[in-house]
Amino acid sequence: MGTTRLIIVAVGGQGNLLASKVLGEAALLSDLPVRMSEIHGMAQRGGVVESALVFGDAESSIISDGEADVLVSFEPSEALRALNKCNIKTKVITSLSPVQPFTVAIGRGIYPEIDTMKKLLDEKTGGLISFDAVELAEKAGTVMSVNMVLLGALIQTGILPIPAENVKTAIQTTTKKAFVDINIKAFDLGFEAAQNAS
């Protein structure tokens, strides 16, 4: 069995940890070993939340710089910030809807142009799938389902040996009952978006 290393980055409050949990549960259903590591604590205070998921045959639960096989980002500038985790073969999936860092509002930083970011992400890695996940999440029913949209896109690529059905089952068992239908719709929309993008 090989090893697949996935980094998920997001801004606090975007539901990164829930997305990781859903993937972990789906891996359990797929008999795919997984070790996950997360950094939280400051998560609800607007910082960056990073999860590392190591699938398959490995003992480590964290991922060194340059060693991610896949990078999933819920926000474009965070994808760029996480480029240090990537190598020239890393597949990158990102939402294009910006969440402006507060430092920009107080004049301590300039938010990069979306097109610049897209170009850099595409050129430097093993390929970029990018789309507006917020728009799709709203279409599914709530902006809070951005995380599920991106899971859909990730599963579509087939990089992880996890069938879509298992992720949907995990969504049913792991996410709040009132949101299950929306979350599954969001997952499907993300899946389609990745299909169209590639």
Partner 1 sequence: MHKLLVDDPGKQLLLLGNEAIARGAIEAGVGFAASYPGTPSSEISLNLFQMSKESDLYYEYSINEKVSMEVTAAAANSGVRSLCIMKHVGLNVAADVLMTLAYIGVTGGMVILTADDPFMFSSQNEQDNRYYGKLAGLAVLEPSTVEEAKEMMTYAFDLSEELGEPVIFRTTTRINHSNAFVSFSEMKERKTKGEFIKDPMRCVTVPAVARGLHVKLLENLKKAEEIADKSELNRRSGKGSLGIICNGVSYGYVADGLKDLGITDKAEVLRIGFSNPLPKALVADFLKDKDRVLIVEEGEPFMEEAVKATAQENGLTLPIMGKSDELFSRLYEYDPSTVRGCIAKAFDIDYTESEVVDLTDVPEIPNRPPNLCAGCSHRAVFYEVNKAAKDMEMDIICPSDIGCYTLGFLPPLSTGDFVVCMGASSGTAAGFSTVNDKKVVSFVGDSTFFHSGISGLMNAVFNNHNFTYVILDNRITAMTGHQPNPGVDMEEMNFQGYNKIDIEEVVKALGVKHISVIKPFNSRKSIASIKEALDYKGVSVIIAKERCTLYAKSVKKLKGKPFQIVEDKCLNHRDCINELACPAFYLENDAVKINADMCVGCSICAQVCPENAILPVKTKE
Least distance CB 117 / partner 1 (angstroms): 9
Residue 110 engages partner 1 in binding (rule: CB under 8 A): yes
Report the alpha-carbon distance of residue 172 to residue 179 in Å, rounded: 9
Judged by CB under 8 A, how many residues of this single chain contact partner 1?
57
Among 46, 127, 139, 195, binds partner 1 (CB under 8 A): 46
- Contact indicator for 154, 70 with CB cutoff of 8 Å: yes
Among 70, 86, 148, 171, binds partner 1 (CB under 8 A): 86
How many residues comprise the chain?
198
Report the alpha-carbon distance of residue 46 to residue 123 in Å, rounded: 29
Per-residue CA distances from 154 to 72, 105, 108 (Å): 7, 32, 33
Beta carbon nearer to partner 1, 103 or 195: 103
| DSSP label of 61 | S
Beta carbon nearer to partner 1, 107 or 196: 107
Beta carbon nearer to partner 1, 2 or 196: 2
Report the alpha-carbon distance of residue 84 to residue 145 in Å, rounded: 27
| Amino acid at position 163, single letter | P
- Contact indicator for 147, 15 with CB cutoff of 8 Å: yes
Least distance CB 47 / partner 1 (angstroms): 5
Report the alpha-carbon distance of residue 194 to residue 41 in Å, rounded: 32
Residue 11 engages partner 1 in binding (rule: CB under 8 A): yes
Among 35, 138, 159, 172, binds partner 1 (CB under 8 A): 35
Among 56, 114, 120, 161, binds partner 1 (CB under 8 A): 120
Residue 137 engages partner 1 in binding (rule: CB under 8 A): no
Beta carbon nearer to partner 1, 81 or 164: 81
| DSSP label of 34 | E
Q: Which two tokens stand for residue 99?
A: 């969440």
**Site residues for partner 1 per CB under 8 A:** 11, 20-21, 24-25, 28, 33-42, 44-48, 58-67, 77, 80-81, 83-84, 86-90, 100-106, 108-112, 116, 120, 124-125
